[in-house]
DNA sequence: CTGAAAGCGCTTACAG
DNA sequence: CTGAAAGCGCTTACAG
């Protein structure tokens, strides 16, 4: 370790100014003449000086880091979405000069977990947090918000609007409407749905959107064709198993709460000798990375997580910096992507 | 914001002790009688007190955070490996009470990038760093090490052994030996290879391992059958295109530098009407998440990134805490996973 | 066992 | 425009 870390005092001495002035040039105060600034900057660069962050923070600066909390009960590893989210958040934060402290939460109800998440905020390790994967009501998040910390949450709404809570969602209503309009246009009237996790806002809004859209087209929502699911492949598979074992006629088209569910559903259909889209049409939601390569290529509702996270990150940082008290709610559009999994009838 | 953050001084006052004592119980000093400790702890809990981290750090404690630097020139998003690595590092660090500051490096040669990475270390935002995706020689990393920072690096060696550098690798030599022994056992003697990125240590060691293993079996390494690649799917595809367009007979088996390359290679082979393993055997390396589901299921050399990162993280933290001066080099075993992409001839 | 005091390395009113 | 000084909230020798 060749570096005993030069500190601002020495920079000041060498540049022939006071620590105050060194601090002023570092913090870009306007009242420092160019000449002085240049002189000090030269010394700073020559000595490769960087202010110690903890000293800056203790003296009143921000950490410039935001905590990213990925709520993932199961194995995160398999989900390549998480990865994209992370990259998106990191790079956007970075553009604002912010850093990301990445965390995984396995269980939001776990005592130790709750304590350690709160600790991160209370210790002032971070200036704010972003939660991904939250259920509709997460006491942990509510507590944090009540404490006044700024938090961004994907997939929640402003039930009790608070200015330090920023929510981000997709317009699932519109997405479902598009999906349905497309199917109806193809001649479908017998349409089923495999739901997502109803503990998540998007699970609910997608189903609500489905019902509304069906109503719009004067189509009945047949209870036998409303299958439970949880956003995972397996639940799509199971839903089809269920559907095929009840004495009912089959829908001609199925809307899945997301593409993973659609994959599972198609797998189950194939196993029962039903071809997609020849025998039954399937439409997904989210536009998963693999949907394009899937056989058949999956028709779906595209959603731009990247862009959403970008907005959320930016807004969280803005809230931290500006402390504005307006209520922030981000809603992103989604759009139909037609591929090969639906057929005209 | 209902919380003006209670500080240690008030805790002390309320508990009827000095700040010194409060600090002692927080830091678990042994010379505090149980009675005093309990009394103080009660107040700490009652008031939900957490020491401000920047103050602790400024007073000499560690940040307890390590920087994770993912070097990813292209789009990270598609690679589900990154995700696994991240989770593995976060959870292991967490077990040691450490946090992960996650960073993406697009270009290790970029001036601004270099500066900002160095800044993170110099500012003392982190106690150490872990680099994933590094080339054999990364001046940035060398500088950091020269400065005395503790750095863990995947896929590099201890060329100039330094105690604050910790490297982690797989035993590619052994892996290649296993792959080759298997192919030879199946009767293959005409064996080709598609290399990985030769700027990466693993690219080199895999090829070296291949050559050594061929030599061991008295098999000639035919130059026409040594194809360049870069660890990505596309390069495997391109390699096969090249191979099929040169006037040479074909090998009966091909070893790919990793599974992505193998996927690309198999895709190209199929397009040329060659079936795997019927017409040509292909073996991969790394055991990608998708290899199991691939058609044909890919025979490969399994490698446990998770476990490697766990060791690396643990060792980096140990080095930070203990400051030991021994040279650390982690080498992980790999093992053959037989599936359906190789055939006996 | 425990308190008073110094110190960690900055920033920012304050005064000039 | 600029410096001296106070203060940020802790920890840890030091002394008793």
H, E, C per residue of chain A: CCCCCCCHHHHHHHHCCCHHHHHHHHCCCCCCCHHHHHHHHHHHHHCCCCCCHHHHHHCCCCCCEEEEEEECCCCHHHCHHHHHHHHHHHHHHHHCCCEEEEEEECCCCCHHHHHHHHHHHHCCCCCEEEEECCCCCCHHHHHHHHCCCEEEEECCCCCCCCCCEEEEEECHHHHHHHHHHHHHHCCCCCEEEECCCCCCHHHHHHHHHHHHHHHHCCCCCCHHHEECCCCCHHHHHHHHHHHHHCCCCCCCEEEECCHHHHHHHHHHHHHCCCCCCCCCEEECCECCCCCCCCCCCCEEEEECHHHHHHHHHHHHHHHHHHCCCCCEEEEECEEEECCCCCCCC
Structural domain contains residue A2: no
Q: CA of B64 and C1' of C9: distance in angstroms?
A: 19
pLDDT of residue A81: 62
Residue B221, CA atoms < 13 Å, CB-side half-sphere? 17
Structure tokens at B180: 């080759």
Structural domain contains residue B344: no
Q: Note whether B199 and B294 are same-domain residues.
A: yes
Q: Note whether A121 and A134 are same-domain residues.
A: yes
Q: Do A147 and B79 touch (CB under 8 A)?
A: no
CATH of the domain at B19: 1.10.260.40
Structural domain contains residue A239: yes
Residue B220: which of B192, B248, B243 has the closest Cα? B192
**Which has more pLDDT, A82 or B297?**
B297
A and B: number of Cβ contacts within 8 A: 131
Structural domain contains residue B342: no
Residue B283: which of B200, B223, B213, B201 has the closest Cα? B213
* Residue among B48, B104, B123 whose CB faces A90 most closely: B104
Structural domain contains residue A188: yes
CATH of the domain at B126: 3.40.50.2300
A165 forms beta bridges with: A151
pLDDT classification of B333: cutoffs 50, 70, 90: very high
Structural domain contains residue A337: no
What residues of chain A lie within 8 A of the CB of B165, using their CB?
Answer: none
Residue B127: which of B304, B342, B317 has the closest Cα? B317
Q: CA of B31 and C1' of D13: distance in angstroms?
A: 15
Structure tokens at B70: 């993912």
The mean pLDDT of chain B is: 93
What residues of chain B lie within 8 A of the CB of A145, using their CB?
Answer: none
Determine contact, residues B102/B72, Cβ cutoff 8 Å.
no
Q: Note whether B41 and B185 are same-domain residues.
A: no
Structural domain contains residue B118: yes
Q: Cα–Cα distance between A311 and A230 in angstroms, integer?
A: 26
Within 10 Å of residue A20's Cβ, how many Cβ atoms?
Answer: 10
Q: Which nucleotide is nearest to B56 (CA to C1')?
A: D10
Determine contact, residues B217/B185, Cβ cutoff 8 Å.
no
- Domain around A319: 65-169+305-331
Residues B29-72: tens digit of each pLDDT: 998 999 999 999 999 999 999 999 999 999 999 999 999 999 98
Structure tokens at A243: 């559907």
Sign of CA dihedral B12, B17, B23, B26: negative
Q: Note whether A103 and A213 are same-domain residues.
A: no
Q: Do A54 and B53 touch (CB under 8 A)?
A: yes
Sign of CA dihedral A272, A276, A281, A284: positive
Mutate to test the interface with B, among A123, A128, A165, A290 (most CBs of B within 10 A): A123
Give yes or no for residue B273 having a pLDDT over 80. Answer: yes
Residues B186-243: tens digit of each pLDDT: 999 999 999 999 999 999 999 999 999 999 999 999 999 999 999 999 999 999 999 9
Q: Inform me whether the C-beta atom of residue B1 falls under 8 Å from chain A C-beta atoms.
A: yes
Give how far Cα A266 sits from Cα of A213, A290, A298, B191, B291, Å: 23, 14, 10, 39, 21
| CA angle (A57, A63, A64) in 5-degree steps | 140
Residues 56-85 of A with CB under 7 A from strand D: 58-60
Q: Which of B18, B38, B58 is the last residue of a domain?
A: B58
Number of domains in chain B: 3
pLDDT of residue B76: 43
Q: Note whether B184 and B286 are same-domain residues.
A: yes
Q: Is there contact between B19 and strand D, defined as CB under 7 Å from any strand atom?
A: yes
Instruction: Using a pLDDT cut of 90, give the percent of chain A over it.
Output: 88
Q: Which of B20, B35, B58 is the last residue of a domain?
A: B58
Task: Return positions of chain C under 7 A from a protein CB.
Answer: 1-5, 7-13
**In a structure prediction context, what are the per-residue pLDDT tens digits for chain A, which is 345 residues long?**
445 689 999 999 999 999 999 999 999 999 899 999 999 999 999 999 999 999 999 999 999 999 999 998 765 444 556 667 888 899 999 999 999 999 999 999 999 999 999 999 999 999 999 999 999 999 999 999 999 999 999 999 998 899 999 999 999 999 999 999 999 999 999 999 999 999 999 999 999 999 999 999 999 999 999 999 999 999 999 999 999 998 878 999 999 999 999 999 999 999 999 999 999 999 999 998 889 888 899 999 999 999 999 999 999 999 999 988 899 999 999 999 999 999 998
Determine contact, residues A207/A197, Cβ cutoff 8 Å.
no
b (16+ CB within 10 A) / e for B69-92: bbbbeeebbebbbbbbbbbbbbbb
Q: Do B83 and A76 touch (CB under 8 A)?
A: yes
Residue B100: which of B91, B112, B110 has the closest Cα? B91
Q: Note whether B269 and B248 are same-domain residues.
A: yes
Q: Note whether A165 and A314 are same-domain residues.
A: yes
Structure tokens at A262: 């659609």
Q: Cα–Cα distance between B66 and A26 in angstroms, integer?
A: 25
Q: CA of B37 and C1' of D14: distance in angstroms?
A: 22
pLDDT of residue B1: 43
Determine contact, residues A233/A263, Cβ cutoff 8 Å.
yes
Smallest Cα distance from B178 to chain A, Å: 27
| CA angle (B33, B38, B39) in 5-degree steps | 100
Q: Note whether B255 and B317 are same-domain residues.
A: no
Q: Inform me whether the C-beta atom of residue A29 falls under 8 Å from chain B C-beta atoms.
A: no
Q: Note whether B166 and B309 are same-domain residues.
A: yes
Q: Do B86 and A84 touch (CB under 8 A)?
A: no
Cα B217–chain centre separation = 32
Q: Cα–Cα distance between B71 and B80 in angstroms, integer?
A: 14
CB-based contacts of B100: which residues, under 8 Å, 6+ apart?
A101, A102, A103, B65, B66, B67, B68, B86, B89, B90, B93
Q: Note whether B266 and B250 are same-domain residues.
A: yes
Q: Note whether A33 and A181 are same-domain residues.
A: no
Q: Note whether A46 and A25 are same-domain residues.
A: yes
Structural domain contains residue B337: no
């Amino acid at each position: 370790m060749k570096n005993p870390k030069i500190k601002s005092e020495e920079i000041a001495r060498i540049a022939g100014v006071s620590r105050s002035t060194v601090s002023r040039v570092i913090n870009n105060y306007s009242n420092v003449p160019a000449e002085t600034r240049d002189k000090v900057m030269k010394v700073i660069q020559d000595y490769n000086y960087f202010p110690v962050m903890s000293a800056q923070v203790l003296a009143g600066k921000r950490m410039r880091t935001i905590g990213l909390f990925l709520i993932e009960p199961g194995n995160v590893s398999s989900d390549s979405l998480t990865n994209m989210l992370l990259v998106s958040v990191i790079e956007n934060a970075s553009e604002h000069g912010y850093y990301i402290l990445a965390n995984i939460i396995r269980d939001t109800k776990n005592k130790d977990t709750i304590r350690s998440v709160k600790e991160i905020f209370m210790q002032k390790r971070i200036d704010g947090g972003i939660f991904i994967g939250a259920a509709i009501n997460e006491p942990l998040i509510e507590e944090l918000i009540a404490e006044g910390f700024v938090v961004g949450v994907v997939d929640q709404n402003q039930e009790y609007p608070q200015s330090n809570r920023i929510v981000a969602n997709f317009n699932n209503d519109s997405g479902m409407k598009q999906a349905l309009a497309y199917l109806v246009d193809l001649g479908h009237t017998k349409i089923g749905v495999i739901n997502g996790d109803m503990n998540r806002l998007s699970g609910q809004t997608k189903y609500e959107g489905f019902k509304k859209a069906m109503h719009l087209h004067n189509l009945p929502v047949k209870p036998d064709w409303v299958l439970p699911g949880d956003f995972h492949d397996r639940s799509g598979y199971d839903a089809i198993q269920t559907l095929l074992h009840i004495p009912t006629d089959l829908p001609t088209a199925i809307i899945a709460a997301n593409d993973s569910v659609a994959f599972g559903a198609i797998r189950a259909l194939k196993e029962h000798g039903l071809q997609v889209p020849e025998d039954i049409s399937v439409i997904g939601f989210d536009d998963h990375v693999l949907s394009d390569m899937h056989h058949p290529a999956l028709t779906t509702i595209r959603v731009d997580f990247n862009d959403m996270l970008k907005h959320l990150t930016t807004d969280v940082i803005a809230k931290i910096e500006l402390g504005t008290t307006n209520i922030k709610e981000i809603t992103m559009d989604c759009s139909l992507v037609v591929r090969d999994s639906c057929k005209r009838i």
